[in-house]
Amino acid sequence: MNISLVREDDGTHNFGKLYIDDLYFGETLEDTDRYLEAGGEKVQDDTAIPRGRYKVTVSMSNRFGRPMPEVHDVPGFTGVRIHGGNTTEDTAGCPLLGAVRTASGIANCKGVNERLMDRLHAAAARNEDVWLEVS
């Protein structure tokens, strides 16, 4: 399964769209894109993950106390998860996933994140690798 996060940085918010196997899935919000893949400097808890291709699995999150999508081997980051949240205050580098975009972030996160977990569990049952491509 291929997940694509396509950023639409507007200079104020780092909005984007998430696609699964080229089909639109939801809205994203991230911290500031500091172009780490091009040599930008990371600001702790206020920097989006670098563009790239990352393996995704489901694992137990100590912070959230439940299984969640984990993004592996992100340079300069640990514990990156795809999860719900409404503003950049709700993330420390993790991509947030919601159903709609608002003036200050995203909303209606629960359902779309549950659907993502369903898709990830189905891929695991098929022994299918899951990849996240951030562009």
In this prediction, residue 110 carries a pLDDT of: 97
With 0.85 as the threshold, say if the pTM is over it. Answer: yes
| Half-sphere exposure in the Cβ direction for 40 (13 Å, CA) | 16
CA neighbor of 95 nearest in space, from 2, 3, 1, 23:
3
In this prediction, residue 53 carries a pLDDT of: 98
pLDDT tens by residue, 69-123 = 999 999 999 999 999 999 999 998 999 999 999 988 999 999 999 999 999 999 9
Provide DSSP, 55-107. Answer: EEEEEEETTTTEEEEEE---TT-SSEE-B--SSGGG-SSPPEEESEE-SSSEE
**If pLDDT is split at 50, 70 and 90, which confidence band does 12 have?**
low
pLDDT > 70? residue 40: yes
**If pLDDT is split at 50, 70 and 90, which confidence band does 13 have?**
confident
Report which DSSP code applies to 36.
G
Residue 110 CB neighbours (<10 A): 10
